Amino acid sequence: MRKLVIFAVLTAFLEAWAGAQVLEVGIFEDITTTNIWARLGPDSTVWNTYVQGGQHGSLYTTTAPTWTWLPGLAADFPSEFVQQDDGNWAATVPLRQDIKWSDGTPFTADDVVFTYNVLLTIGAENLGGNWPSYAPDALVAVERVDDYTVKFVFSQKPGLGEWNFGTLYCPIVQKAYWEPYFQQAVETDDPAGSLLAVVPEDEPIIGGYDLVKWEPGAYAQVDKNPTYYATGEATTFYEGGGAVIDNPSSGFHFEAYGGAAGEVMLSLTEGPYVDSIIYPIYLNQDSAVMALQNGEMATFLNPLGLQKGFRQRLEATPNVEIISNPPWGFRYLAFNMRREPMSHKAFRVAVATLIDREYLAENVFQGIITPMYSAVPNSNPFWYNPDIVIYGQGMDHFQRVEEAVRVLKEAGFSWDAEPVVVDKDNPRNTRVAGKLPDGTIVDAPSGFKLPSGEYCPELELLAPSAGYDPLRATFGLYIEQWCREIGLPVKANLTGFNVIVNKVWAPDGFNFDMYILGWSLGDPSFPDYLYYFWHSSQDVPDGFNTPGYRNPEYDKLAEDFLAADNLETARQLAFKMQEMLAEDVPYVILFDTPIAEAYRADMIEFPYTEVLGGIQFVWPLTTVKALK
pLDDT at 288: 94
What is the domain partition of the chain in residue ranges?
Answer: 56-204, 224-326+595-626, 329-395+457-592
Residues 420-466 have pLDDT tens digits of: 999 888 878 899 999 999 999 999 999 999 999 999 999 999 999 99
**Helix-helix angle 345-354:470-485, to 10 degrees:** 110
Q: Report how far residue 189's alpha carbon sits from residue 193's, in angstroms, rounded to the nearest whole number.
A: 9
Q: Is-contact 57 207, C-beta < 8 A?
A: yes
Neighbours of 462 (CB within 10 A): 21
Q: Report how far residue 496's alpha carbon sits from residue 316's, in angstroms, rounded to the nearest whole number.
A: 31
Sequential DSSP letters for 606-622: -S----TT-GGGG-S-T
Q: Report how far residue 492's alpha carbon sits from residue 481's, in angstroms, rounded to the nearest whole number.
A: 9
Q: Is-contact 208 272, C-beta < 8 A?
A: yes
Residues 25-79 have pLDDT tens digits of: 999 999 999 999 999 999 988 899 999 988 999 999 998 888 899 999 999 999 9
Preceding amide of 620 cis, omega within 30: yes
Paired sense of beta strands 149-154 and 209-215, if any: unpaired
Rounded to the nearest 10°, the torsion over CA 122, 126, 130, 133 is 70
Task: Give, in degrees to the nearest 5, the angle at Cα 14 between 12 and 19.
Answer: 110
Of the candidates 384, 383, 454, the one whose C-alpha atom is nearest the C-alpha of residue 416 is 454
Residues 106-129 have pLDDT tens digits of: 999 999 999 999 999 999 999 988
- CATH for 224-326+595-626 is 3.40.190
595-601: average pLDDT: 94
Alpha carbon separation from 167 to 126, 158, 541 (Å, rounded): 17, 10, 22
Q: Is-contact 522 376, C-beta < 8 A?
A: no
Of the candidates 333, 296, 599, the one whose C-alpha atom is nearest the C-alpha of residue 475 is 333
CATH class of the structural domain 329-395+457-592: alpha beta
Q: Report how far residue 295's alpha carbon sits from residue 288's, in angstroms, rounded to the nearest whole number.
A: 11
56-204 folds as: Dipeptide-binding Protein; domain 1 (3.90.76)
Q: Do domains 224-326+595-626 and 329-395+457-592 have the same CATH topology?
A: no
Residues 158-180 have pLDDT tens digits of: 999 999 999 999 999 999 999 99
Split at pLDDT 50, 70, 90, the class of 372 is: very high
pLDDT at 14: 46
Tell whether the model's pLDDT for residue 571 goes beyond 80: yes
| List of long-range contacts for 70-76, beta carbons under 8 Å, 24+ apart | 70/235, 70/243, 70/245, 70/254, 70/256, 71/96, 71/245, 71/254, 73/99, 73/107, 73/112, 73/172, 73/206, 74/168, 75/148, 75/252, 75/254, 76/254
Residues 497-546 have pLDDT tens digits of: 989 999 999 888 899 999 999 998 888 999 999 999 999 999 998 889 99
Question: pTM here?
Answer: 0.80
Q: Report how far residue 194's alpha carbon sits from residue 177's, in angstroms, rounded to the nearest whole number.
A: 16
List Cβ neighbours of 472 (8 Å cut-off, separation of 6 or more): 331, 463, 464, 516, 517, 518
Q: Report how far residue 424's alpha carbon sits from residue 433's, in angstroms, rounded to the nearest whole number.
A: 12
Q: Report how far residue 457's alpha carbon sits from residue 141's, in angstroms, rounded to the nearest whole number.
A: 49
